[in-house]
Amino acid sequence: MKVGFIGLGNMGGPMAANLAAAGHDVIGFDLHAPCPDGVKTAPDAAQCAAGRDVVITMLPNGEILRAVAAQIIPAMQKGAAFLDCSTVDVESARAVATDAVEAGLLALDAPVSGGVGGASGGTLTFMAGGTQAGFAKAAPLFDVMGQKAVHCGPSGNGQAAKICNNMILGVTMIATCEAFALADKLGLDRQKMFDVVSTSSGYSWTMNAYCPAPGVGPTSPADNDYQPGFAADLMLKDLRLSQQAAQAVNADTPLGQSATTLYETFVEHEDGAGRDFSAMLPRFEKRGRK
């Protein structure tokens, strides 16, 4: 396919490179990041989108997505697919999709899970919202960039799936870190704690696959001084999106709100900025009950 790719940072760059390596004709644009090997450079976003079968965006937030969409939708050929892989608010995703459909385009919001490692390795999971026709057109690209793509329903539902998933992730990581800190104070060995919980009803992805305790379980960012696999800053972004969505639909999410407040404190007032989101464990280790 002829693919335009806008947003070539830590996630978008490897994704575009994988598409080019698979034989797709990829042209890219980014205000700051260079195009990876195999990806041609466009002078601006509109020219990156012109004449392409699919245009993919990977952008920081909904405001930037709306601005880029306003530039590229008029330049895209009718019948092309606008595939946004950013993680943004549901309202922005649906507004951009509406504009794209009105211009005769196929629109998909398809945020990803899997981080930079998944982007580089082509093992991302895509959560897609939009029409079945749009999903079918993008499917060959999903096969290159990821290991799984789920069609979650109409436009905006990809973002809904992403923020619900990551709200669970944020809450669960906090509970896992609290439990390890409590186990320390009770004199329970961390390895023994892991051996029990990882095979009992406390089983979770944060415990079994991404354990926040160094030297326990599979290798994780905790074993690399909490250098981020998934930064606390990004977890805070996703939790804020979850609470923005919850407010918009009048959903009661007390644990999601509490997790948001904790990560706000950790990132903005403590030492969490630039660290992995599992670095909550050393935070709790140092704290007593208030």
Task: Determine whether 250 is exposed, middle or buried from the number of CB atoms within 10 Å of its CB (0-12, 13-18, 19+).
Answer: exposed
Confirm if 285 and 184 have CB atoms less than 8 A apart.
Answer: yes
Query: Is beta strand 146-153 parallel, antiparallel or unpaired with respect to 124-130?
Result: parallel
Could you say which of 78, 137, 162, 185 is catalytic?
162
The Cβ-side half-sphere exposure at 195, using a 13 Å CA radius, reads: 5
Both tokens of 202, joined, read 């406390």
User: What gap in Å lies between CA 91 and CA 273, rounded to an integer?
Assistant: 27
In 98-218, which ranges are E strands?
106-109, 112-113, 124-130, 146-153
CA distances from 181 to 188, 240, 284, 287, 289 (A): 10, 26, 6, 9, 11
User: What gap in Å lies between CA 188 and CA 198, rounded to an integer?
Assistant: 15
Question: Could you tell me which residues are beta bridge partners of residue 50?
Answer: none
* 162 a catalytic residue: yes
* Positions marked catalytic: 162
